[in-house]
Amino acid sequence: MHDYFSIGGTREQQLGNVLTLIAADLDIPDYLKAELVRKYNHLGSWIRKDNEDRFRTESEIYPQGSVRLGTAVQPVKADCGYDVDLVYLRRLAKESISQEQLVQQAGDQLRRYIAFRKSEGKEVPELVRRRRCWAMNYSGRFHMDVLPALPDDESTMFTRSVETSILLTDRRLWEWQHSNPKAYADWFRECEILVFTEKRISMARAGNVEVEKIADDAVKTPLRVSVQILKRHRDIRYSGNPDDKPISIIITTLAAAAYRNERELFDALMGIITRMERSIEMIDGKWWIPNPVNPKENFADKWNEFPQRAQRFFDWLAAVRADLESLLKLSGLNNISSSLATSFGSDVVERSMKRFGEEVDASQQRGDLKMAVGSGLLNMSTGTKVVKNTWYGD
């Protein structure tokens, strides 16, 4: 389904279409997404049974972050694979287990799961302990971070969805870390609810299926695409300097808060860039970007520790705006591609432009391509039908 492809319209619309193709190229492809879901569901049910048998506790594994939101982008080094965050929630009381025990038990379970998979002759990931999680590395495809967690029964911080509040471990910190990825995802979706609902219904109609059959993360709203474009721009700009790059949660939160349910990608993107800074606060000389579902959590706490990170964020934001504005001043898809390649990477731009050409060709073969009289503008709604032809010559 290529509901995002179209040709013609205004310069802004056409640029939006090209940027949408770029984001689609960087997104997790459907076959990998299916594999990913299969993998974490399999792990989830194995570990659920293990917890019932050995600890008589309930557990669940679910995705959080970009995979849950539909804003994942391929890393600049494509062979690194997509970053996937999974919450591994065990229904245990905080008093019954220490952070270290929770992490060790999770590690023990994952090792046994891997041994079990190996005994079945299945591909097994490399397992590495990290600061807040166990990383399962499926080479070239996914980096699955499994975050051990407990329910946060005492949570008073979260004004909503207390039942989805969780506690996470952190090797460097004594205290359990409060989190609520499900409530965050709900908040994110509320920011785009009008366009999300509209788009989901139109996708269901186009595919002739029930609305519920369209997966949440399959609905590529202008907000989600904007977040993907912004993250990719950041990744390219700071590819040599990953420590100081603006973090995804900040970009995602500020973008969602700034989104006004614009229907066109380019309008959404420019609107977001213009309004993004408004959710950044300065309180008692400290940078504050509150977690929308936990106002006591400051996503910008590191900016206060490393002031150059705030500067990097503002520099980056100015650069995105300048890059997008300069695109609008260029003429010639070839010149626009060169400029896009500088901002988003030459490989992805080349693939997206190739896709663009193929889509135009497909619309001609289907009989949908037209040429507006007076201008010669190719489009899909008005003018002379572009009948089939054969390109001859060397």
Q: Would you count residue 350 as binding other proteins (CB under 8 A)?
A: yes
Structure tokens at 191: 């920011």
Q: Would you count residue 389 as binding other proteins (CB under 8 A)?
A: yes
Q: Would you count residue 6 as binding other proteins (CB under 8 A)?
A: no
* Minimum CB distance to other proteins smaller for 286 or for 354: 354
Q: Would you count residue 371 as binding other proteins (CB under 8 A)?
A: yes
Q: Would you count residue 15 as binding other proteins (CB under 8 A)?
A: yes
Candidate list 2, 10, 130, 274; residue touching other proteins; CB under 8 A: 10
Structure tokens at 366: 């289907």
Q: Would you count residue 349 as binding other proteins (CB under 8 A)?
A: yes
Please provide the DSSP assignment of 50-73 as one string: HHHHHH---EEEEEETHHHHT---
* Minimum CB distance to other proteins smaller for 135 or for 380: 380
Burial class (CB in 10 A: 0-12, 13-18, 19+), 247: middle
* Minimum CB distance to other proteins smaller for 15 or for 214: 15
Provide, rounded to whole angstroms, the least separation between the CB of residue 74 and other proteins.
19
Provide, rounded to whole angstroms, the least separation between the CB of residue 393 and other proteins.
4
Measure the CA–CA gap between 82 and 78, rounded to whole angstroms. Answer: 8
Measure the CA–CA gap between 276 and 50, rounded to whole angstroms. Answer: 45
Q: Would you count residue 334 as binding other proteins (CB under 8 A)?
A: yes
Q: How far is CA 357 from CA 329, 335, 361, 366, in A?
A: 22, 16, 6, 14
Q: Would you count residue 366 as binding other proteins (CB under 8 A)?
A: no
Q: Would you count residue 29 as binding other proteins (CB under 8 A)?
A: no
Measure the CA–CA gap between 219 and 194, rounded to whole angstroms. Answer: 12
* Minimum CB distance to other proteins smaller for 9 or for 290: 9
Measure the CA–CA gap between 329 and 334, rounded to whole angstroms. Answer: 13
How many residues bind other proteins (CB under 8 A)? The answer is: 49
Provide, rounded to whole angstroms, the least separation between the CB of residue 22 and other proteins.
12
Measure the CA–CA gap between 389 and 283, rounded to whole angstroms. Answer: 65
Q: Would you count residue 387 as binding other proteins (CB under 8 A)?
A: yes
Provide, rounded to whole angstroms, the least separation between the CB of residue 355 and other proteins.
9
Provide, rounded to whole angstroms, the least separation between the CB of residue 360 and other proteins.
6
* C-beta neighbour count of 304 within 10 angstroms: 14
Q: Would you count residue 330 as binding other proteins (CB under 8 A)?
A: yes
Task: Return the exposure string of 368-379: e unless at least 16 CB atoms fall within 10 Å of the residue's CB, then b.
Answer: ebbbeeeeeebb
Measure the CA–CA gap between 334 and 132, rounded to whole angstroms. Answer: 45
Q: Would you count residue 100 as binding other proteins (CB under 8 A)?
A: no
Element (H, E) at 25: helix 11-26
Structure tokens at 334: 């070839």
Q: Would you count residue 378 as binding other proteins (CB under 8 A)?
A: yes
Q: Would you count residue 32 as binding other proteins (CB under 8 A)?
A: no
Provide, rounded to whole angstroms, the least separation between the CB of residue 81 and other proteins.
26
Measure the CA–CA gap between 377 and 356, rounded to whole angstroms. Answer: 15
Residues that bind other proteins (CB under 8 A): 7-11, 13-15, 18, 330-334, 336-338, 341, 349-350, 353-354, 356-358, 360-362, 364-365, 369, 371, 373-378, 384-394
